[in-house]
């Protein structure tokens, strides 16, 4: 699922990129809500890193577009 989200984010460009990133964040957060317990710690860490990267890129897009 994470690979699908990452691919979807990379395929988007321009104005659609921000929307795709926000969708990726929402899907990653939904996946984290299901991934409970110590056996899913690595998955949660990966999803947290993915969310942080998406949020960083959204901030860059906002800075570039002045929004």
The pLDDT tens digits of the residues spanning 4-17 come to 766 666 555 556 77
Q: What percent of the chain has pLDDT over 90?
A: 21
Q: Domain range holding 48? A: 2-65
Residue 63 φ/ψ, nearest 5 degrees: -65, -40
For range 44-53, the mean pLDDT = 92
52, pLDDT greater than 90:
yes
CA atoms 28, 57, 48, 2: torsion sign: positive
Number of domains forming the structure of the chain: 1
Q: Average pLDDT over the chain, rounded to whole?
A: 81
| Tokens describing residue 42 | 């690595």
Residue 13, classified by CB atoms within 10 Å of its CB into exposed (0-12), middle (13-18) or buried (19+), is exposed
């Amino acid at each position: 699922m994470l690979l699908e989200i990452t691919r979807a984010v990379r395929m988007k460009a321009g104005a659609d990129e921000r929307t795709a990133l926000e969708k990726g964040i929402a899907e990653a957060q939904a996946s984290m809500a299901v991934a409970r317990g110590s056996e899913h710690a690595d998955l949660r860490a990966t999803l947290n890193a993915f969310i942080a990267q998406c949020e960083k890129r959204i901030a860059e897009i906002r800075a570039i577009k002045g929004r």
